[in-house]
Amino acid sequence: MQGDSGWRHLCSCKSSCSRSAGDLARPVQDPLPVWVAVGGTPESAVRAGMLVLPMALGIIGGMPERFAPFVEVHRRAAGQAGHGRLPVSVNSHGYIAETREQAADDAYPPYALMMNRIGQGRGWRPMQRQDFDAAMTLRGANFVGSPQDVIDKILFQHEIVRHDRFLLQITVGAIPHDKVMRSIELFATEVVPAAARRSRVAPRYPPRRRSRCRQDGVSRGG
């Protein structure tokens, strides 16, 4: 939102808040890019294509081959809507450590606790370590392992899905902060450069904008 519309947002100070909409953090991109999240139904992929919007494909269970048809129908629907190829991202759970064994030992307990808590209300059977280990394999859904394990898996899925972007959610469950930060570091310094180079897809980052002013810790973009 640009400029001062006179609208005053709700925050912790409720009606006493004096900041207007112009004081809020604003997106770097103009216009704001919108992606449609798609999970388990092809109809959602078709809808995203008909809306001529990029698709964020969540793969948190099952083999990647199962999701290739989603990409096909998304691109076909975009073509029927008069548009060319639209971007597709794969979005998955994962965790990176120096070794595969360390990554599994760090990630399994909090991951299982979280997924079992969610599964209680959905009728899932409790997750066992063998289930987690199976999801770590090349055709499994979770990107847990060493940097090389994750690189290999990204490239393997890219051959199937031909996606343009990959997003990794590391904090599934309460992993200690220092380990999360190390996982992010390994992803940024080892996984991203190698995967981008070998897939011939360069990583793209939005341009940074300088903040012109700052009020009460809220940055205003330029």
Cα pseudo-dihedral 164, 189, 140, 94, rounded to 10:
-100
Shortest CA distance to 160 belongs to which of 49, 40, 38, 64? Answer: 64
Residue spans of the chain under pLDDT 70 = 1-23, 200-222
Cβ-Cβ contacts under 8 Å for 221 (sequence gap 6 or more): 25, 26, 27, 28, 209, 211, 212
Residue ranges of the domains in the chain? Answer: 26-201
Structure confidence by residue, pLDDT tens digits, 57-114: 999 888 989 999 999 999 999 999 988 889 999 999 999 999 999 999 999 999 999 8
Residue with tokens 């959610």: 169
Residue with tokens 């947002």: 9
* CATH fourth-level superfamily of 26-201: Luciferase-like domain (3.20.20.30)
The model carries a pTM of 0.74
**pLDDT (0 to 100) of residue 151:** 96
